[in-house]
Amino acid sequence: MLVWSKIISANEQSSIEERFLNMGQTNAVIRKLSGSKKLHIEVYLKNKKEAQILKKELGGKVNKLEYKNWAKINASSNRPLIKIRDKILITDNSDAKQINKIKRQYPKKIVISIPAALAFGTGDHATTSTCLRMLVDIAKEYQKGNEKWSFCDIGLGTGILPITASLMGAFKVEGFDFDPEAIAIAKRNVIINLRNKINIYEQDLFDWSPKKGASWNVITANIFANVLNPNLKKIWNRVADNGYLLLSGILEEHHNSVLQTAQKNGLSVPKLYCKGKWVSFKFNKII
């Protein structure tokens, strides 16, 4: 395993994210350096060729990922807690004692541990946090109405969305990703955070073909527009009546293409949420 890394200033973040996006690179872990406005970016790579492409395109350096570093990635860190609405706290600490300490400190909150790892979705990225906020709001509505609801995340990364859905009361939860590394990490995160089992599996969205009649009350997909658009109709068909489809990870300049595809395929008119360069959509399938 190799690790490409670079230190950048905070105002370079969106342009570098855009470069990653264009390169189809979704494994970047971005951390704020404490006491500084600089950011440390790492991308974990399996082959030398990919590492060389990153270095050529973006500068930075490439090192071998030693076991020592891997252990460090998974160890506790001092990143501040990420708050989602008044309900969720996300820590990157994976130490059970520390997690319990946070739970005791905030007894009314749901505490989720997502250690920084090789998959996308630690909660601090705008696209994930917007998805989480939309999800928490919908879950609260279902809770208020004492309604049973099911959930599926397309491209689950660390598993942060299915874990949140399960802790917010969804009765049937699943998620898939075409990246086996993401599946392994999500499974580990499920063990850290949940007592119940959820259905996590390796699957490419382009080949996704759920059982006849299968549908979910809430489906999320925090995925690039070029992956979403050709699959949007298929995804929408699997949203249960009166359910929700939450889309995120769409760059501002691509959001019209998603809106057009949605309109062409008879999706409802969505609510839009913008954060920086990112646009998220909330579709409600009112029947």
- Residues lying near ligand SAM in the complex (CB under 6 A) are found at 26, 119-121, 128, 131, 153, 155-157, 160-161, 177-179, 182, 204-206, 222-223, 227, 249
Q: How far is the CB of 82 from ligand SAM (least distance, A)?
A: 12
In the Cβ-directed half-sphere of 114, how many Cα atoms lie within 13 Å? 29
CA distances from 240 to 22, 134, 215, 248 (A): 33, 17, 5, 19
Least separation, in Å, of the C-beta of 14 and ligand SAM? 15
Assigned token pair, 271 = 């609510």
Cα gap 162→174, rounded to integer Å: 6
Least Å distance, CB 128 to ligand SAM, is 3
* Cross-strand partners of 275: 278
**Distance, CA of 60 to CA of 142 (rounded, Å):** 47
155 versus 270: smaller Cβ distance to ligand SAM:
155
| CA–CA separation, 89 and 76 (whole Å) | 15
Nearer to ligand SAM, 100 or 226 (CB): 226
- CB nearer to ligand SAM: pick between 128 and 189: 128
Residue type (1 letter), 257 = S
Q: Name which of 243 and 249 has its Cβ closer to ligand SAM.
A: 249
- Contact of 89 with 111, CB cutoff 8 Å: yes
Q: Do the beta carbons of residue 46 and residue 62 sit within 8 Å? A: no
Residue 253 CA, distance from chain mean position = 21
Minimal CB distance to ligand SAM: which residue? 155
Minimum distance between the CB of residue 145 and ligand SAM, rounded to whole angstroms?
A: 25
Type of residue at 40: H
Q: Residue 249 or residue 270: which is nearer to ligand SAM going by CB?
A: 249
- Minimum distance of ligand SAM from residue 35's CB (angstroms): 27
Q: Return d(Cα 99, Cα 111) in angstroms, integer.
A: 8
Rounded to a whole number of angstroms, the minimum distance from the CB of residue 219 to ligand SAM is 11
Place of tokens 């309604």: 147
Cβ(161)–Cβ(186) below 8 Å: no
CB of 27 to ligand SAM, least distance (A): 8
What does the block give as tokens for 184?
């392994």
Q: In the complex with ligand SAM, which residue's Cβ is closer, 101 or 231?
A: 231
Looking at beta carbons only, is 36 or 237 nearer to ligand SAM? 237
